[in-house]
């Protein structure tokens, strides 16, 4: 296969970029009164307006050509059919199967994984019903009220983001807490808020080897034993893992272990039993709605032609700016409190998936890949980093994410939406002034994702939209979006440094900066 920059469409796009880079979006709006209609798409409760982009119809057809030449549809088939899309680990990435509740069969290594998925959903259903109906009780006979998720990365960010987003759908009798960091301050804060007699903690770790998670779990288990004055804390603890043997060795009984599988990437795992905290908070029926929303987006991604396909268009627009305009950043700015943790969540999904330099052919790329994601709640970000978006020499495309129906004060809701729309407009029109310090260049692009209301279903759709956008980009960049070898080195170096900190080793093998900092820590932490 040809290298990406050698593809005919890539070269045509480079030429096309030269011809339209100086054109203004405002001019295009002035000459085409239907630009919004031409460059927007609706799928169920989500509207995507991509008209405020530096594109004309030819840009879209050239980008679509690029997707075709990169064989996107063949790779998409591999993804959905369970082929080894994660080539470096020779396995599928089947998050789409987790949310497909249509009794089909899908064979992986001679095993129908759909049966496993259904069995696990059933186990989740039984367990969440027991907890929510108060029939699952703690060691002293009291029902569960505090749910503590202990996990990190994909075993944390999805459940954190979604439980926050769906707070209004949650049963108010329950509180969900999260412990991810190995910083004892976080653990301490959570322990102060929970009632040991009514606490269920979930050890959430695909590998069941992650030191942050296991260390936090060990401490919270000891805390529970002390507080409850018993060694039997089994009613207060469940685990979710793809390594059940390790969980059993830890001491967790089989019936308290929920399975996930090697063929689900950690950052794509919220649709599996990793979503248990969500199911406990909102109930299984709503959890199914969440899965169904994601499935609806899967079907759209799988079946719509590229020029009408939301994830494909978002992916291609990203490539247009990253590779042709040379903009390595992407801002994600939700104007909805529900999406408070959306940027954090997408940061892992995007940057851990596409922050890569090796191609699938085991060569190195000579073009940019995954964007640097930044973002923050709408109005808050206007009063922090939007200054740079408007006047900085950098040019950062923005995804504005809006929810039409708020849950509370209508007056505030109108103001919130007006804020988002005015920022997107300001980025586009700019302001011309003789004084340079007042001059705002404008012509800066943005997408608007307008969701009717944040519900389990629409949230599932939104998350799957971004997952597939990231997939599209990974395919075009010819990288494997489903491994994460880059995070291994730091994990590998940690034990040695820890040994030095704890005086188990002498300081001779470290570079002088690390050695100096170890000494500094030893004296300052006394
Ligand atoms: O950061 C590396 C990583 O492996 C992520 O991909 C994963 O989500 C996270 O660590 C947690 O891993 P585990 O679920 O195995 O504890």
CB 386 within 8 A of CB 423: yes
Q: 487 CB under 6 A from ligand 1?
A: yes
Q: 152 CB under 6 A from ligand 1?
A: yes
Known catalytic residue at 289: no
Q: 143 CB under 6 A from ligand 1?
A: no
**Cα 518 to middle of ligand 1, angstroms:** 27
| Residue to probe by mutation, ligand 1, list 158, 181, 206, most atoms within 8 Å of CB | 206
**Cα 406 to middle of ligand 1, angstroms:** 34
CATH architecture of the domain with residue range 98-287: 3-Layer(aba) Sandwich (3.40)
**Cα 425 to middle of ligand 1, angstroms:** 39
| Closest C-alpha among 344, 353, 418, 417 to residue 376 | 344
**Cα 429 to middle of ligand 1, angstroms:** 43
Average pLDDT, the chain: 96
| Residue to probe by mutation, ligand 1, list 155, 182, 203, most atoms within 8 Å of CB | 155
- Mean pLDDT value across residues 297-322: 98
Q: What sign results for the dihedral spanned by CA atoms 21, 26, 29, 32?
A: negative
Residues 6 or more apart whose CB falls under 8 angstroms from that of 134 comprise 143
Buried-exposed string 317-350: b where 16+ CB fall within 10 A, e elsewhere: bbbbbbbbeebebbbbbbbbbbbbbbbebbbbbb
Per-residue three-class SS string for 81-121: HCCCCEHHHCECCCHHHHCCCCCCCCEECCEEHHHHHHHHH
Q: In this predicted structure, what is the pLDDT of residue 65?
A: 98
Higher pLDDT, residue 508 or 412: 412
Nearest atom (ligand 1) to Cα of 154? 8
Task: Give the closest residue (by CA) to ligand 1 atom 13.
Answer: 205
Task: Give the closest residue (by CA) to ligand 1 atom 4.
Answer: 266
CATH architecture of the domain with residue range 4-69+304-431+439-483: 3-Layer(aba) Sandwich (3.40)
Distance CA 221, CA 217 (A): 6
503 pLDDT tier (thresholds 50, 70, 90):
confident
**Cα 291 to middle of ligand 1, angstroms:** 22
The phi, psi pair for 89, rounded to 5°, reads -110, 5
**Domains 4-69+304-431+439-483 and 98-287 are alike in CATH topology:** yes
Q: In this predicted structure, what is the pLDDT of residue 507?
A: 57
| Residue to probe by mutation, ligand 1, list 207, 211, 485, most atoms within 8 Å of CB | 207
| Closest C-alpha among 201, 207, 195, 196 to residue 178 | 201
The phi, psi pair for 437, rounded to 5°, reads -70, -15
Task: Give the closest residue (by CA) to ligand 1 atom 2.
Answer: 487
**Cα 212 to middle of ligand 1, angstroms:** 10
Q: In this predicted structure, what is the pLDDT of residue 219?
A: 96
Task: Give the closest residue (by CA) to ligand 1 atom 10.
Answer: 153
Of 103-107, 144-148, 197-201, 333-337, the least confident: 103-107
346 pLDDT tier (thresholds 50, 70, 90):
very high
Catalytic pick among 405, 491, 504, 520: 491
Distance CA 423, CA 163 (A): 28
Q: 353 CB under 6 A from ligand 1?
A: no
CB 367 within 8 A of CB 328: no
Q: In this predicted structure, what is the pLDDT of residue 494?
A: 92
Higher pLDDT, residue 408 or 335: 335
407 pLDDT tier (thresholds 50, 70, 90):
confident
Distance CA 119, CA 126 (A): 11
Q: In this predicted structure, what is the pLDDT of residue 2?
A: 82
409 pLDDT tier (thresholds 50, 70, 90):
confident
Q: In this predicted structure, what is the pLDDT of residue 508?
A: 67
**Cα 510 to middle of ligand 1, angstroms:** 27
pLDDT at 315 over 90: yes
Catalytic pick among 34, 102, 104, 383: 383
- Mean pLDDT value across residues 120-149: 98
Nearest atom (ligand 1) to Cα of 152? 11
pLDDT at 125 over 80: yes
> What are the tens digits of pLDDT across the range 70-91?
999 999 999 999 999 999 999 9
> What are the tens digits of pLDDT across the range 194-213?
999 999 999 999 999 999 99
Nearest atom (ligand 1) to Cα of 266? 8
Domain ranges of the chain: 4-69+304-431+439-483, 98-287, 486-524
Distance CA 171, CA 508 (A): 55
> What are the tens digits of pLDDT across the range 263-286?
999 999 999 999 999 999 999 999
Catalytic pick among 296, 338, 352, 376: 352
Cα–Cα distances (Å) from 108 to 22, 263, 291, 482, in that order, read 50, 9, 21, 17
Known catalytic residue at 227: no
Residues 6 or more apart whose CB falls under 8 angstroms from that of 398 comprise 331, 332, 333, 389, 423, 424, 427, 444, 445, 446, 447
CB 343 within 8 A of CB 330: no
**Cα 387 to middle of ligand 1, angstroms:** 35
Task: Give the distance between the most distant pair of CA atoms in the chain.
Answer: 76
**Cα 147 to middle of ligand 1, angstroms:** 21
Known catalytic residue at 34: no
| Residue to probe by mutation, ligand 1, list 150, 154, 209, 349, most atoms within 8 Å of CB | 154
């Amino acid at each position: 296969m040809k290298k990406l920059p050698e593809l005919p469409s890539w070269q045509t796009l480079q030429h096309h970029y030269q011809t339209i880079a100086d054109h203004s979006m405002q001019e295009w709006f002035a000459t085409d009164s239907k630009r919004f209609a031409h460059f927007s798409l609706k799928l169920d409760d989500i509207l995507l307006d991509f008209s405020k982009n530096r594109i004309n119809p030819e840009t879209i057809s050239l980008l679509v050509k690029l997707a075709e030449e990169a064989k996107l549809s063949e790779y998409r088939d591999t993804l959905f059919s369970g082929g080894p899309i994660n080539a470096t680990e020779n396995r599928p990435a089947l998050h789409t199967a987790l949310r497909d509740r249509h009794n089909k069969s899908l064979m992986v290594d001679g095993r129908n994984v759909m049966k496993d998925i259904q069995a696990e959903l059933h186990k989740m259903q039984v367990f969440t019903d027991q907890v929510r109906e108060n029939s699952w009780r703690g060691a002293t006979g009291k029902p569960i009220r505090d749910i503590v998720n202990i996990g990190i990365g994909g075993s944390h960010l999805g459940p954190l983001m979604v439980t926050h987003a769906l707070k209004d759908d949650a049963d108010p009798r329950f509180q969900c807490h999260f412990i991810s960091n190995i910083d004892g301050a976080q653990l301490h804060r959570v322990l102060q808020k929970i009632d040991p007699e009514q606490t269920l903690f979930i050890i959430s770790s695909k590998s069941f080897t992650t030191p942050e998670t296991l260390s936090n779990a060990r401490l919270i288990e000891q805390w529970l034993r002390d507080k409850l004055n018993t060694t039997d804390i089994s009613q207060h603890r469940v685990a979710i893992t793809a390594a059940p043997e390790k969980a059993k060795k830890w001491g967790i009984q089989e019936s308290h272990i929920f399975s996930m599988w090697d063929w689900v990437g950690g950052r794509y795992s919220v649709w599996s039993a990793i979503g248990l905290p969500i199911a406990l908070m909102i109930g299984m029926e709503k959890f199914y709605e969440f899965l169904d929303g994601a499935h609806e987006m899967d079907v759209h991604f799988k079946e719509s032609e590229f020029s009408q396909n939301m994830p494909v268009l978002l992916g291609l627009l990203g490539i247009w700016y990253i590779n042709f305009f040379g903009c390595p950043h992407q801002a994600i700015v939700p104007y909805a409190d529900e999406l408070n943790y959306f940027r954090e969540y997408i940061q892992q999904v995007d940057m851990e998936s596409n922050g890569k330099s090796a191609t699938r052919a085991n060569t190195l790329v000579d073009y940019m890949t995954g964007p640097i994601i930044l973002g923050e709640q709408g109005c808050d970000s206007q009063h922090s980093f939007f200054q740079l978006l408007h006047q900085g020499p950098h040019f950062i495309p923005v995804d504005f994410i809006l929810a039409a129906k708020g849950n509370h004060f209508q007056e505030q809701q109108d103001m919130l939406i007006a804020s988002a729309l005015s920022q997107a407009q300001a980025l586009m029109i700019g302001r011309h002034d003789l004084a340079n310090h007042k001059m705002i260049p404008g012509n800066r692009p943005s997408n608007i994702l307008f969701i009717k209301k944040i519900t389990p279903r629409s949230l599932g759709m939104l998350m799957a939209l971004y997952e597939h956008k990231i997939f599209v980009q990974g395919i075009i960049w010819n990288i494997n979006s489903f491994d994460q070898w880059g995070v291994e080195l730091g994990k590998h170096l940690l034990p040695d440094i820890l040994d030095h900190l704890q005086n188990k080793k002498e300081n001779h093998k470290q570079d002088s900066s690390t050695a100096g900092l170890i000494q500094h820590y030893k004296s300052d932490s006394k």
